[in-house]
Amino acid sequence: MDLKQLLLKDAMIMDLKATTKEEAIEEMVDKYYQVGVIDDKELYKADILKREAQTSTGIGEGIAMPHARDKAVKRATVLFAKSAKGIDYKSLDGQPAYLFFMIAAPDGADNLHLQALAALSSLLINPELVKNLKAAKTADEVQELFDKAMKEKEAKDKADEEKEKAKAAAAAQASDSDEKKPYVVAVTACPTGIAHTYMAEAALKEQAEKMGIDIKVETNGSEGVKHKLTADEINRADGVIIAADKKVDMPRFDGKHLVNRPVSDGINKAEELINLAVEQKAPVFHAEGGATEEKEDSEEKKSLWSRIYADLMNGISNMLPFVVGGGILMAISFLLENSVGAHSQWFLFFNNVGNYAFSFLIPVLAAYIAVSIGDRPALLPGFVGGYMASQATASVVSSKSPAGFIGGLLAGFIAGWVVVFLKKWLKNLPHSLAGLKTILIYPVLGLLFTGAIMYFAVDPIFAVVNAAITHFLESMGTGNAVILGTLLGGMMSIDMGGPFNKAAYTFAIGTFTATQDGALMAAVMVGGMVPPLAIAIATTFWKNKFTEQERQAGLSNYILGLSFITEGAIPFAAGDPLHVIVSSVIGSAIGGGLTQLWGVNVPAPHGGIFVTPLANKPLLYLLAVVIGAVISGVIYGIWKPAKKNN
């Protein structure tokens, strides 16, 4: 693809007016909007700032490369901008930035565009090009400079390819006594995969050539994995360099001296990384431990909350498909139930498949929290611990209610840290028994310890909580209906499937079964509908406070909420329990209380808005839902902290 199609003259700013990083981003985003490259300034800017929050894209040497890939972008484009005086962009080398390349990639960018973006990024380590760009006066001159640099790079790449073939042929004929050049393998990766990944690749290859060292670099970018390292190449390498800001496939490097650094070091400290790898001064990586000593040191530098949050997000992101897929099918089943009946095969099919998916919510959440902490050996104990939290099974104290998602969170962290403990405890095991760790020792002991903690501690605690709540509700009776409705509605939002939720729902079902009075069913139904609807409202009207994935999940919560599927809010509650649960409880309590104040009666155990025709006061039933959801949604949207911009 011709780089001129990416480097639009109309999008260039040859004299940037901004004096601060924030102003520079604002000016460039505005330019993109003016020329029609983006159609949503706020969304694109939010994603640019989100990337900056991870690590500054001011890569040093006077260059900054802010970039984002989202649905606001209409076409792949690179905006070139110059600042004569320079801007404090919080660059990695602490120096001002003079040249700016704001990369915009659409969600559905094809490989041709992505390859062109990668090629352009790799050109920016050429000091001669950078020098000429700083002196350029017109947009035409900028395009010509890149066109010339690209042709030179293509010629060099072709020559290098021929040289590699010649080397391979010579190596095949060489004897063992021939002198070997040092050989290093590397992996580069950045979160968006459209800039730093390829710049680090180019910097490492260029530096290795200067040092007379052979290198192969695998890129984990937006195009996927390119130049994938083979087992033979890894085995032959003197050392391994990982220059990445996201997770890469690590177990294959077991037993190798491995340098693990941010992708920016691959760009700015290529010589240092190559020396560490060649001289084998880097720690030896052990796959079963899941980390090099260097990585463990870096983990210790992270704040406790940062580590907990990362573990939570791993569980939540893997749980989301089960919530959305299962929830939508259950919602369809409730819609069908009204027209074809509860005994129809169509209703039963959709409802059962949705329920099957929902039965994995808590186990998957717990399993992938555990994996984030203890790697693959923690999958089994995490999954089983989550399953125990999702079942109302008898432990040392019998209970009719599961521990719910809160118990699942605990199960995930317990399983993860149990495996971490086991790894440290067994690190001096004889080498002859090392092979038994992953297939026998970790599964058995991990499951034993996690299961014991869940069985003898977590489950009994929640069983006692459930019994106490049930006794409290029974002692209240139905004398003060509004207070009871408020209490039941609020309880539906506290743990969304745990003891509080189940106790409230069971109490309402018991009352309905005994008296055929659906007043309390109206309270719990409204209380259970509010949390997902509040999430949907907040993600719709406070978009900048949520990630793209959260906004998409938020849309599905409209359907889940209207269908009385409270579990749609679990991923948000797990990631941000204080703001989600407190705001939800307030709205649910108000909605539940209003149903009793207005004398609403819903003689049905489930169905959400689909059972509205059965209510004695359908409009007031819906009004209670709307009031509760709006109150919770507004509280959550306003209260949720804004994402840090830098």
Report CA 323 to chain centroid distance, whole Å.
15
For 213-244, what is each residue's pLDDT tens digit?
Answer: 999 999 887 566 788 898 888 998 999 999 98
Q: What are the residue boundaries of the structural domains of the chain, listed by start?
A: 3-150, 181-285, 303-475, 478-639
End-to-end Cα, the chain, rounded Å: 34
Residue 95, helix vs strand vs coil: coil
Q: Is the pLDDT of residue 562 over 70?
A: yes
| 181-285 fold | Rossmann fold (3.40.50)
Size of the chain in residues: 646
Long-range contacts of 342-348 (CB under 8 A, 24+ apart): none
pLDDT for res 451 = 93
What distance in Å separates the CA atoms of residue 536 and residue 552, rounded to the nearest whole number? 9
Residues forming a β-bridge with 183:
214
Q: Is the pLDDT of residue 249 over 50?
A: yes
Residue 160, helix vs strand vs coil: helix
What distance in Å separates the CA atoms of residue 410 and residue 214, rounded to the nearest whole number? 48
User: Residues near 529 by Cβ (< 8 Å), separated by ≥ 6?
Assistant: 561, 562, 564, 566, 591, 608, 609, 625, 628, 629
pLDDT category, 461, cuts 50, 70, 90? confident
Summary count for the chain: helices (H), strands (E) = 25, 10
pLDDT for res 425 = 87
Buried b or exposed e, range 612-626, using 16+ CB within 10 angstroms: bebbebeebbbbbbe
Q: Residue 172 is encoded by which pair of tokens?
A: 């095949």
Distances (CA, A) of 239 to 170, 236, 245, 562: 22, 9, 19, 56
pLDDT for res 218 = 92
Contact call for residues 238 and 183 (beta carbons, < 8 A): yes
Name the DSSP class of 259: E
Segment holding 387, helix H or strand E: helix 379-390
Q: Return the CATH number of the domain spanning residue range 3-150.
A: 3.40.930.10
User: Residues near 531 by Cβ (< 8 Å), separated by ≥ 6?
Assistant: 492, 493, 496, 561, 566, 568, 569, 573, 580, 584, 588, 632
Distances (CA, A) of 621 to 389, 497, 531: 33, 23, 16
Label residue 281 exposed, middle or buried (CB < 10 Å: 0-12, 13-18, 19+). exposed
Q: Is the pLDDT of residue 462 over 60?
A: yes
pLDDT for res 274 = 93
Of 634 and 262, more confident? 634
Name the DSSP class of 73: B
pLDDT for res 147 = 85
What distance in Å separates the CA atoms of residue 239 and residue 501, rounded to the nearest whole number? 54
Q: Residue 70 is encoded by which pair of tokens?
A: 């989202």
Segment holding 645, helix H or strand E: none
Q: Residue 62 is encoded by which pair of tokens?
A: 């006077």
User: Residues near 178 by Cβ (< 8 Å), separated by ≥ 6?
Assistant: none
Q: Is the pLDDT of residue 467 over 80?
A: no
DSSP notation for 34-83: HTTSBS-HHHHHHHHHHHHHHS-SEEETTEE--EEEETTBSS-EEEEEEE
pLDDT category, 272, cuts 50, 70, 90? very high
pLDDT for res 633 = 95
Contact call for residues 244 and 188 (beta carbons, < 8 A): yes
What would the mean pLDDT of 360-372 be, rounded to a whole number?
90
DSSP notation for 308-346: HHHHHHHHHHHHHHHHHHHHHHHHHHHHHHHHH-TT-HH
For 507-525, what is each residue's pLDDT tens digit?
Answer: 887 787 677 788 899 999 9
What would the mean pLDDT of 40-55 be, rounded to a whole number?
85
For 20-32, what is each residue's pLDDT tens digit?
Answer: 999 999 999 999 9
pLDDT for res 393 = 65
The yes-or-no answer on residue 257 being catalytic is no
Of 496 and 238, more confident? 238
Instruction: Scan for tokens 């050429």, then name that residue.
Output: 126
Q: Residue 57 is encoded by which pair of tokens?
A: 């894209």
Neighbours of 333 (CB within 10 A): 26
pLDDT for res 178 = 45
Catalytic site residue from 113, 190, 257, 579: 190
pLDDT for res 522 = 93
Catalytic site residue from 67, 113, 196, 257: 67
What distance in Å separates the CA atoms of residue 418 and residue 393, rounded to the nearest whole number? 23
Residue 606: half-sphere exposure toward Cβ, Cα within 13 Å: 14
pLDDT for res 396 = 59
For 425-441, what is each residue's pLDDT tens digit?
Answer: 887 777 666 667 777 88
For 525-560, what is each residue's pLDDT tens digit?
Answer: 999 999 999 999 999 999 888 877 788 888 889 998
DSSP notation for 188-229: EE-SS-SSHHHHHHHHHHHHHHHHT-EEEEEEEETTEEESPP
pLDDT for res 126 = 78
Residue 133, helix vs strand vs coil: helix
Instruction: Scan for tokens 């025709």, then name that residue.
Output: 613
Contact call for residues 538 and 633 (beta carbons, < 8 A): yes
pLDDT category, 109, cuts 50, 70, 90? low
What distance in Å separates the CA atoms of residue 380 and residue 411, rounded to the nearest whole number? 11
pLDDT category, 100, cuts 50, 70, 90? very high
163 backbone dihedrals φ, ψ, rounded to 5° = -65, -40
What distance in Å separates the CA atoms of residue 85 and residue 17, rounded to the nearest whole number? 10
Q: What is the mean pLDDT of the chain?
A: 83
Contact call for residues 632 and 527 (beta carbons, < 8 A): no
pLDDT for res 293 = 41
Contact call for residues 9 and 138 (beta carbons, < 8 A): no
Segment holding 285, helix H or strand E: none
What distance in Å separates the CA atoms of residue 291 and residue 463, rounded to the nearest whole number? 38
* Sequence letter at residue 378: A
What distance in Å separates the CA atoms of residue 483 and residue 42, rounded to the nearest whole number? 43
Q: Is the pLDDT of residue 624 over 70?
A: yes
pLDDT for res 175 = 43
70 backbone dihedrals φ, ψ, rounded to 5° = -155, 180
The yes-or-no answer on residue 286 being catalytic is no
For 285-333, what is each residue's pLDDT tens digit?
Answer: 877 544 444 444 444 444 566 677 768 777 877 887 888 788 788 878 8
